Structure 1
Amino acid sequence: MSAHTIRPARPEDVPAFRDIYEEAVLNGTATYELVPPDLAEMRARFAAITGVGYPFIVAEDHHDTVLGYAYASAFRHRPAYRWSVEDSIYLAPEARGRGIGRDLLTRLVELCSESGFRQMVAVIGGADNEASIRVHRRAGFRMIGTFEGSGFKFGRWIDTVLMQMQLGDGNTSLPDETVFPGTLYGG
């Protein structure tokens, strides 16, 4: 039996997301934010992502403690990008190195594929973020580039790594235009 389960996120999970994200902001380069957002802002972000139908999931242990979360969001906000999503994964420090990030990413890829998205892009903060690069590579992402010195945090320049994975038919067939009834891009 797995030591954790993956399930859809709920509004009552947002305080745990905020705590996990605060640690990432203050101690890591996975995000280029410098000041952790407050609970109201995290609630607004959660509502914005889930309100237009993007998947947002959590990993929790058998005590219902949130160990990490992952979500997909718009890669870019122009209508031509509507078939591409960007993934985000954040883990509590005690959850790292236990396969939870892999499980979250695997489920997120499944959900995005089922929803009709065709590309997933990982925008990874820090070329030295080996764990994130490794989990994406093992999931089937390929390296597509590095923005050198694109972020400045902790008194140093940080590279941004871009990885990509085709979902479903990728770009080998035309998408089903009826999948998006207009909620994501205004019609």
Structure 2
Amino acid sequence: MQSDDIRIRAATTADAEQLLAIYAPYVSKTAITFEYETPSLAAFQERIENTLKRYPYIVAEKNGEILGYAYTGAFVGRAAYDWAAEVSIYLKESRRGIGLGRMLYGALEELSKAQHILNLNACIGYPEHEDTYLTRNSVQFHAHLGYAIVGRFHKCGYKFGTWYDMVWMEKLLGEHPDVPAPLIPFPELRGKMGDKA
């Protein structure tokens, strides 16, 4: 997928260094992720590799520079949840507000539909009062894309000396049939779709 010289493609472990450089400021400067320590390059490569065994992990790239990335993962991890997936997205600090998030999520939704996933769920840190570490921008972004808050956990995350809430947001991608089609793991989907995945 391509738009205005921005190409959306599947990530590889070779992208880990650029992706980790995007992620690290979210760990060290924000409560967007509740992770305290930036993972090692090897650990980050392993995360990418593990995700790609079953789910899409995609990047937005322009002239070889990765501007952001998004991926889905198991929602809870039991077999009955196969048709639901958790979404995550991270954009380069200097590249926010130019439509990359919408582009990445649009591609992720199409891939998820092709996998027969019906529910996308986002787990989002939520401040009682906005501060320098966490605003409500992520919730607003997801709401703009059709997600709705379906649950809120109070003061469940502690970072930078502050207790933060967490909300779950959900988007339904289609009707829920009496008997859903089986999930297609991402590697099989890529084989069927060729360059589109």
Same fold, TM exceeding 0.5? yes
1:50-89 CA-partner distances (Å, limit 9, x unpaired) = 02x201110112x211111000000111111111100000
Alignment match of 2:167 (pick from 124, 139, 161): 161
Structure 1 unmatched ranges of 5 or more: none
State the 1:179 CA deviation: 4.2
Q: 1:178 to 1:8 in 2, by over 3 A?
A: closer
CA distance in 2, matches of 1:55, 1:163: 20
Aligned residues: 178
Alignment match of 1:133 (pick from 134, 139, 142): 139
Identity %: 35
RMSD: 1.8
Q: 1:3 to 1:154 in 2, by over 3 A?
A: farther
Give me the TM-score of the superposition, normalised by structure 1: 0.88
Structure 1 segments (4+ residues) deviating >4 Å? none
- Is 2:179 the counterpart of 1:174? yes
CA distance in 1, matches of 2:119, 2:160: 32
- Is 2:151 the counterpart of 1:150? no
Alignment match of 1:30 (pick from 29, 32, 39): 32
State the 1:107 CA deviation: 1.1
Is residue 119–residue 170 contact of structure 2 (8 Å, CA) maintained in 1?
yes
Is residue 56–residue 71 contact of structure 1 (8 Å, CA) maintained in 2?
yes
Counterpart of 2:56 in structure 1 is: 55
SS at match of 1:177: coil
